[in-house]
Amino acid sequence: MSVSQPVEVDPTIADFAAIGRWMDECGLPGGAVGTVTPIGGGTQNIMLRFTRGEQEYVLRRGPKHLRARSNDVIRRESRLLGALAGTEVRAPKVIAACDDETVTGAVFYLMEPIHGFNPQTELPALHAGDPEVRRRMGLSAVEAIARLGALDYQALGLADYGKPDGFLERQVPRWLRELESYTANAGYPGPRIPDVERVGDWLERNRPTDWTPGIMHGDCHLANMMFEYDSPQVAAMVDWEMSTIGDPLLDLGWQLATRPVPGTVGAGLMGTLGTVCGLPEPAEMISHYGGFSDRDLGTITWYEVLACFKLGIVLEGTHARAFAGKAPKQVGDFLHAVTLELFEKAARLIA
């Protein structure tokens, strides 16, 4: 996440007078609200950094034009992050959450600021100049998801956070339906993606039958990781809107599928980090995960293929919306190229 210049905030997005009254009711420290600064990143949800009195906060809420599930997504995020407090998982620390949409027009929560950088938008000299530091960054990201997947979600009060029964069985049909739904976008010629049926059929025929449910981040590529400025360690995993209770090995598959390789189209999603070498090789990532998890990694290729399949279809949605004028054409074309690359990778993996 990157911090931009201070701004005057639209009160329909965040009414800080109302927020201040709510903070008083919560017993939080009083004082005047200081400079409000938007935090940018890869999400359409809104994040605002501000001070009140001598304390600093980050407010997170849904987009300005709320979608049908925006408030529910924020409620789920704040609940999960609250449950993770006190565990070894590096995640934002929630200070207080407001489920009442009438306070400022949307559900929101306050969290402590994270001191770290997003490698998609920034790469400090320490990390840019040393491939060993970048290798350890990749391993720290693997450790982060392994520790998350190893938690006892039921003991954390998250038994109803997702629907693990039939999770793997739902994946291919669910995402094929999503792909089909894109034809509703005016002008979209349909998905011109080679190997969609072949990859989907392989996933169905080779689906693991024995797995253990756990907490999933759901979108754990490196752009959703904040790293410490003075070390290769993850400072926090962010953007938890796709989190659920499912098969945590899909998080490892996701990291393998999105590992930036210089010279590929997909590497363009990771800024400077995508143009330099040094990240751990897939075999080392898998081995490192095994050091923090007792899960059977014998079928990890299946999860990497599923990650390519799912992410490719997600990105194709922007390509489809671009035809209807709902997204920039340049962005749509770029993400379509990434989708093609992901399906080419999946085809190689199953060959």
82-102 tens-digit pLDDT: 999 999 999 999 999 999 999
Count of Cβ atoms closer than 10 Å to residue 137 Cβ: 25
What is the tens place of the pLDDT at every residue in 103-141? 999 999 999 999 999 999 999 999 999 999 999 999 999
The answer to whether 93 touches 83, Cβ cutoff 8 Å, is no
CB burial readout 52-76, b (16+ within 10 A) else e: beebebbbbbbeeebeeebbebbbb
* 113 vs 271 pLDDT, higher one: 113
| Residues 33, 258: Cα–Cα separation, whole Å | 40
What is the tens place of the pLDDT at every residue in 186-245? 999 999 999 999 999 999 999 999 999 999 999 999 999 999 999 999 999 999 999 999
CB burial readout 228-260, b (16+ within 10 A) else e: beeebbbbbbbbbbbbbbbbbbbbbbbbbbbbb
Q: For residue 55, what is the enclosing H or E element?
A: strand 55-61
- Under DSSP, the state recorded for 37 is E
Write phi, then psi, for 159 (nearest 5 degrees). Answer: -60, -30
| Residues 192, 210: Cα–Cα separation, whole Å | 34
What is the tens place of the pLDDT at every residue in 321-330? 999 999 999 9
What is the tens place of the pLDDT at every residue in 157-194? 999 999 999 999 999 999 999 999 999 999 999 999 99
Contacts of 139 (CB under 8 A, 6+ apart): 232, 280, 284, 285, 288
The predicted pLDDT at position 41 comes to 52
| Residues 256, 47: Cα–Cα separation, whole Å | 28
Pairing of strands 2-3, 234-237: unpaired
- Under DSSP, the state recorded for 85 is T
pLDDT at 155 over 50: yes
- In 3-state terms the chain splits into helix, strand, coil percentages (rounded to 5) of 45, 15, 45
